[in-house]
Amino acid sequence: MHVKHWDKCLSLIKKELSPQSYKTWFKPIKPVKYKNQILILEVPNKFFYEWIEEHYLNILNNSILKVLGISGKIEYIISKEKEEIDEKKKIIELENQPPKITRFNNLNESFNFNSFVGGKCNSVAKAAGERICENPGKNPFNPLMVYGGVGLGKTHLIQSIGNRISNQTDLSVYYVTSEKFANQFIESLKENKLKDFTTFYSNVDCLIVDDIQFLSGKEKTQEVFFNIFNQLNLNRKQIILSADKSPVELNGLEQRLVSRFKSGLTVELEIPDFKTRSDILKHKISVDNINISNEIIDYIALQVDTNIRELEGVLISLLAHSTITKSEIDLKLTKSIIGKIVKDNNREINIKYIQEIVSKYFNISIEDMKDKARKKEIVIARQVAMYFSKDFTNNSLKSIGFHFGGRDHSTVIHAVQSVNDMIDTDSIFKKNIHEINRRITNN
Ligand code: ADP
Ligand code: MG
């Protein structure tokens, strides 16, 4: 019923919008319920419905009026809230009938192997994940421990494994972040339901715990997790874990826990190389049917070398900008967006980077800059690079001196003073400094 209503609204809305806007803003909305002439729509996040209310309210209201009549209304629910409600419901259902367990999973279906692009950075982890699915629990990769920095695909990969197991078998798969696990544990203590809590977890066939670094320092939670872990392990249930660091680097975790984590396969997700970054972008635009040239894809892949979440972020912003301004995604827009959302936050401005920019600007080699040469142009370039190193990095004077051929800290102080003097007295020099500053910060 609600689906039909919403489909009718959509067909009216579609006529009013460009295909791109329609796809970006209306396709992701899901009708959840229709009751008392109120149609409840699920949107991905708060920003989403604010945007719709702000930009498409008339179009939306007109369609509601036509389909639901004058007293028809809509309400929004945010996906995440819904997920949490659903999950609570599931736990309650299970708690009411322990230890019988029904098949269920609480995974995000969009995290699957089809959408997980392979590359050198994740080949081992991905292959291990696929192997696990062939025989969950009874394979050499139990537990599987995936680690790596933010935005490198840990959650995506471990959920892909969970989804595949859930689709191919009738095993129950449960995904939880370690933070949530800790909260559930505390909650169960408060409500005198510790037994239900442990029974629940001991009955899961495949347990996926994301971001276990948050268990650090939480001794009681670690203890209960240790017991659940052992119980599941004993029963040859599959356990999959993720962390932002390798097990040895995880501080604040009990040793016995760490050694358990390492008893299966520990594998790192690395920063993707250029080819993989470009493959990921190409995959995403082909799925979403977005029109972007290869030149731009390669430019993004070249510039955004931090993590995959950021790659996606650039793509989403580009899309949003081009829909809002109804303009094409060209190199100029791409550059300005990357400059805004990536460079400023993440491009680490270090001494080496400054030396590169300054040496290019003055057309002087970095070796000369570090060497003893006393030629005026070289001295100036060297001083300017020192000046910016002082300005943009947290290196001490001593360390800056060290990076310029082992010079003394007083040389750096002198360089900073000279540059300041020249800025005050020489307007052309001042312009040069501005330009170099702009290049360093990429503004
Ligand atoms: P992490 O958990 O390591 O912080 P996520 O799994 O949340 O990272 O990944 C960040 C974003 O990048 C997600 O939107 C995810 O879908 C995407 N992503 C990560 N790895 C890949 C990949 N190999 N192929 C396609 N998308 C990926
Ligand atoms: Mg994650």
Nearest CA to ligand 1 atom 18: 153
- What are the helix and strand counts (H, E) for the chain? 21, 8
CB neighbourhood size of 25 (10 A): 21
152-193 pLDDT tens trace: 999 999 999 999 999 999 899 999 999 999 999 999 999 999
Closest ligand by atom to 147 CA: 1
Please check whether residue 244 is in contact with residue 229, taking contact to mean a CB–CB distance below 8 angstroms: no
Please check whether residue 369 is in contact with residue 381, taking contact to mean a CB–CB distance below 8 angstroms: yes
* CA gap 246, 261 in Å, rounded: 10
4-40 pLDDT tens trace: 899 999 999 999 888 878 888 888 888 988 888 888 8
Pocket around ligand 1 at a 6 A CB cut-off: 115-117, 122, 148, 150-156, 280, 308-309, 312
If you measure from the C-alpha of residue 213 to the centroid of ligand 2, how many angstroms do you get, rounded to a whole number? 11
Q: Phi, psi at residue 34, to the nearest 5°?
A: -135, 120
If you measure from the C-alpha of residue 155 to the centroid of ligand 2, how many angstroms do you get, rounded to a whole number? 4
Q: Residues with beta carbon < 5 A to ion ligand 2?
A: 154-155
3-state secondary structure 314-328: HHHHHHHHHHHCCCC
Q: What is the mean pLDDT of residues 48-64?
A: 82
3-state secondary structure of 241: strand
pLDDT band at 103 (very low <50, low <70, confident <90, very high): very low
Nearest CA to ligand 1 atom 13: 309
Beta-bridge mates of residue 173: 105, 206
The structure's pTM equals 0.62
Q: Please, which residues have CB within 8 angstroms of residue 340's CB and are 6 or more apart in sequence?
A: none
Please check whether residue 206 is in contact with residue 158, taking contact to mean a CB–CB distance below 8 angstroms: no
Q: Where are the alpha helices (DSSP H) in 347-375?
A: 351-362, 366-370
If you measure from the C-alpha of residue 423 to the centroid of ligand 1, how many angstroms do you get, rounded to a whole number? 46
If you measure from the C-alpha of residue 117 to the centroid of ligand 1, how many angstroms do you get, rounded to a whole number? 9
Pocket probe for ligand 1: among 120, 156, 270, the residue whose CB has the most ligand atoms within 8 Å is 156
Closest ligand by atom to 269 CA: 1
Closest ligand 1 atom to Cα of 110? 16
Q: According to the per-residue pLDDT averaged within each range, which of 129-138, 258-267, 284-293, 316-325 is highest?
A: 129-138
For residue 96, give the H/E element and its range: helix 79-96
Q: Where are the alpha helices (DSSP H) in 18-68?
A: 19-21, 46-68
Q: Phi, psi at residue 164, to the nearest 5°?
A: -65, -45
pLDDT band at 89 (very low <50, low <70, confident <90, very high): low
Closest ligand by atom to 153 CA: 1
CB neighbourhood size of 284 (10 A): 19
